[in-house]
Structure 1
Amino acid sequence: MNLKNSVLRLFLMVVAIAVPSSLSAQQLDPVLKELIQKGITKNHQVNSNQIDAAQAQIDQQLAKSVFLPKITLNGSYTRLNDDITFDENTRNLLIGTQKLVIKDAIGIPFNTPFPENIPLTEVPNLQNKNILKSSVDLDWVLFSGFEATNALKASRHKESSLNYVGLAEKDKVALQIIEAYDKLALVKASKKVLSASEDYLNEQVFYVKKAIENGLATPISRKKIELAQQQLAGKQLEFEHNNILLIELLHQLTGETKENLRLLDPELQSFAVSEVANVEKRNEIKALEEAEKATLYKAKMEKSSFIPKIAVKGHYEFIEDDLSLLDPKWFIGAGVRWTIFDGNQSRLNSKKTLLESQRYRDQIEDAEEMIALSITKAELTYQAALQNTTIVQKEIELANDTYEMINKQYKNNLASINDVLDALNDVEKANFKLQESYFNERRAVADLLHAKGILTY
């Protein structure tokens, strides 16, 4: 995965909805925490990011390996069409010189013919036609002009950036699982509300049946109750479908078996709230900052191509017999490579990389502004959710009292069955709204802690 694309994706992820609260790992349901860890382990994007970070570690090792000596063993066999020898005149000259040296050594006058009983050494070939070679080469970079050093630093910051990308991705997975888990709790709570409504309706069915038998109610009242029962059954079916969908979603997010997920019975409740004054730097911001540093070192690396490089070269031949008269058995030397002008490529590449670092700086500043705004928005959302919970609790109290009053009036023929069903519907709606308010509180708490960079799980 390209680092630039990873960080750009993270930049787009910088969204915030949150609340001043203490939603810590200790406040999360242990079952939920286990699901989050399973989801992080399963998540393909998290795993892909870990692979990218591992590749960045290998890049660091590659940068370090520039300074390690490279040792190469060589072996070859070559057959020429013929031996490579001196030309005839040169051979005659060498033989004649050999004779003069021998005459001088044994004291024979210069003009005296050379004795036939003294053997002469044949003139050796420049190169025999059968050539068998075995050697070892040494190449050792002593100074890379800071190119490898800057590449190493760039890779380290790239790895750090990718690690922060991974942490941000884990936060994203955790938020998805928390939301799905809370939605499942909302569905479970809604089912309990509908069960309570069903009990109320069954009570009304019993009463209407007795009233009809005693001539105190008409069959229309019974039909209205039956219609209410059908409407309730439709709501129960809808929530059952939602339950199935959420089980599928949690299974996809965490890999937990559907059988185990069906056994879950989460509950919605308000979190204990305490002011959270501290704000930690978000992982998305840290990733952008590390990416910025990586590009700055990359720019330095590209500039350093103009600094001289120093290396040592060595060679040793294991087989001497097939060496030519001009081949050395071994040699060692040091060299300098200095690029004076490369057609402006390094300068332009460095300039391009610096522009990329400026882009990261702009993204950091923009993201910080977005996060600050999102924290404020999240705090207001949480305060509104708390206020809404207080209001809904009053609504529930009023709806229950109203239902009790109208139910008594109906039994005394002072109210119609429609009034009873309307009052019952108000009780049901108020209880739904309370569960939704709890759900919104929890969403706000989780999102604020995420926005402040202190979400733990």
Structure 2
Amino acid sequence: MNLNKVVFNDVLLVFVILMPMIISAQELDPILKDLIHKGISKNYTLKSNHIESEQAKVDQQMAKSVFLPKITLNGSFTRLNDDITFDDDTKNLLIETQKLIIKDAVGLPFNSTFPDDIPLQEAANLQNKNILKSSVDLDWVLFSGFEASNALKASKHKESSLNYVGLAEADKIALQIIETYDKMALVKASKKVLTATENYLNEQTFYAKKAIENGLATPLSRKKIELAQQQLAAKQLDFEHKNILLVEVLHQLTDESKEKLKLLQPKLHLFSFEGTSNNEKRNEVKALEEAEKATNYKVKMEKSNFIPKVAIKGHYEFIEDDLSLFDPKWFIGAGVKWHVFDGNSSRLNSKKIQLESLKFREQINDANEMIALSITKAQLTYEAAKENTKIVKKEIEIANATYNLVNKQYKNNLASINDVLDALNDVEKANFKLQESFYNERRAVVDLFHAKGLLTY
């Protein structure tokens, strides 16, 4: 078989193998999707964000619970140093009054002597020294001046903001995993280029050996080929190290076992821009907008401090024996609490929160401008990468033709082995550049999907 034809066919075969598929929409490799989901599940920042979101839900429950009645059971025992009684003058007054009432009841004259056989009752203690109490209290807020309802709405928007922050963080994790996965695909494709180069060098080694045996070449030619093979082995080792490092990075990001990651064979599938004309609002912007709404409701909370609050208070004593003469067995009442002036505390807090809201608005404007810039940058990068791919494909075509021509000349003693190796090096470089161009295309499209808020996984 003609050696030139074999080499040319090998070049075409490798070129076909390294040509990636073009997918009309964003459709990630199922293996890549699985890695992204594992990375999201493993990420500590997202777990922390989820905890904060749960705290916001608890805040909502606390705001609602303001309107639930608070019932408190009380119990106590107190021993005083002595009973609390009336003073002696008051006791005497009460005794004499008692005598007058009894005389009147039995029909004795007002100024007659009080009979000794009629018992008199001592005045009751105001408070016995042993006091045992058991009671229940009721506190029930009927109207909080809209403070609780505004707190509830603020907490809901805070929860939404945290959820969008989590989605934005998940997008960052997905982008990081996609980029690492694509780098691994680039390494795999580059190794295939090196494998093709190795096949060419093996063919040249075979030819050089035959040429030396027939006196058509010197051993120096073979040594130059051997040097090229050693250089190729160094490149292969470098790509192997890159692959090992990428496996470590993916393992750290996803917690997937290294054994499974080493078996991955990712490919640089390209995406097109079809269906990407419409933009979706980015999660980062949604998070800022929800945070802005939350601060607006906090402002309303501060202002509602001056609205009257209405509540019910109730009390009931289970034990009557140890109550003082002035203690009621039970009572219930309604009250109004109205802050007329709080030393400007609410006004200053409201102003401070309003400034926080303005800060969020500035961040939203900045984010929108940066997103618009990133969309433009991604589109330009994609167009440049597509154009570069066309150029590199032409370079490959020329490099293959040049190599084929120089190889024929070498076999007819019209070119040196250096010319052959240089031509082969050009073929290798062109194929490397093609894979890098594919990689840049894919990165630009993924970045564009992300910038437009259309990244799905």
Is 1:175 the counterpart of 2:179 in the alignment?
no
8 Å Cα contact 2:312/2:333 also seen in 1: yes
1:249 is matched with 249
1:448 is matched with 448
Letter in 1 for 2:305: S
8 Å Cα contact 2:212/2:219 also seen in 1: yes
Distance 2:371 2:119 in 1: 99
1:367 is matched with 367
Moved more, 215-224 or 178-187: 215-224
2:58 is matched with 58
- Where 1:76 maps in the other structure, the secondary structure is strand
Distance 2:335 2:323 in 1: 25
TM-score relative to the length of structure 1: 0.93
Letter in 2 for 1:344: N
Distance 1:45 1:398 in 2: 50
Is 1:206 the counterpart of 2:206 in the alignment?
yes
1:297 is matched with 297
Letter in 2 for 1:285: V
- Where 1:321 maps in the other structure, the secondary structure is coil
8 Å Cα contact 1:315/1:331 also seen in 2: yes
**Structure with more relative contact order (C-alpha pairs < 8 Å, separation 6 or more):** 1
Distance 1:342 1:144 in 2: 17
Identity, in percent, stands at: 77
Letter in 1 for 2:112: T
- Where 1:68 maps in the other structure, the secondary structure is coil
8 Å Cα contact 2:276/2:454 also seen in 1: no
Distance 2:274 2:326 in 1: 87
The alpha-carbon deviation at position 269 of structure 1 amounts to 2.9
Distance 1:426 1:274 in 2: 35
8 Å Cα contact 2:25/2:274 also seen in 1: no
Q: Note the alpha carbon deviations across 1:424-450, whole angstroms, 9 max, x for none.
A: 111111111111111111111111011
8 Å Cα contact 2:184/2:246 also seen in 1: yes
The alpha-carbon deviation at position 272 of structure 1 amounts to 4.3
The alpha-carbon deviation at position 213 of structure 1 amounts to 2.1
2:34 is matched with 34
The alpha-carbon deviation at position 185 of structure 1 amounts to 0.7
Distance 2:24 2:292 in 1: 33
Is 1:328 the counterpart of 2:308 in the alignment?
no
8 Å Cα contact 1:22/1:445 also seen in 2: no
1:6 is matched with none
The alpha-carbon deviation at position 143 of structure 1 amounts to 1.2
- Where 1:342 maps in the other structure, the secondary structure is coil
2:185 is matched with 185
Residues 398 and 75 of structure 1, relative CA distance in 2, 3 Å threshold: same
8 Å Cα contact 2:247/2:262 also seen in 1: yes
Distance 2:242 2:320 in 1: 85
Structure 1: 5+ residue stretches without partners: 1-20
The alpha-carbon deviation at position 22 of structure 1 amounts to 5.5
TM-score relative to the length of structure 2: 0.93
8 Å Cα contact 1:303/1:347 also seen in 2: yes
8 Å Cα contact 1:299/1:353 also seen in 2: yes
Letter in 2 for 1:177: I
Q: What pairs with 1:194-273 in structure 2 (closer than 5 Å)?
A: 194-273=194-273
Distance 1:33 1:254 in 2: 11
Q: What pairs with 1:5-404 in structure 2 (closer than 5 Å)?
A: 23-24=25-26, 27-404=27-404
Letter in 1 for 2:139: D
2:407 is matched with 407
Over the residues paired in the alignment, what is the CA RMSD in angstroms?
1.2
Q: Note the alpha carbon deviations across 1:110-168, whole angstroms, 9 max, x for none.
A: 12222222222221111111111011111111111111111111111111111111111
Distance 2:293 2:104 in 1: 79
The alpha-carbon deviation at position 191 of structure 1 amounts to 0.9
The alpha-carbon deviation at position 240 of structure 1 amounts to 0.5
Letter in 2 for 1:94: L
Letter in 1 for 2:425: N
Distance 1:34 1:371 in 2: 27
Letter in 1 for 2:371: I
The alpha-carbon deviation at position 216 of structure 1 amounts to 1.5
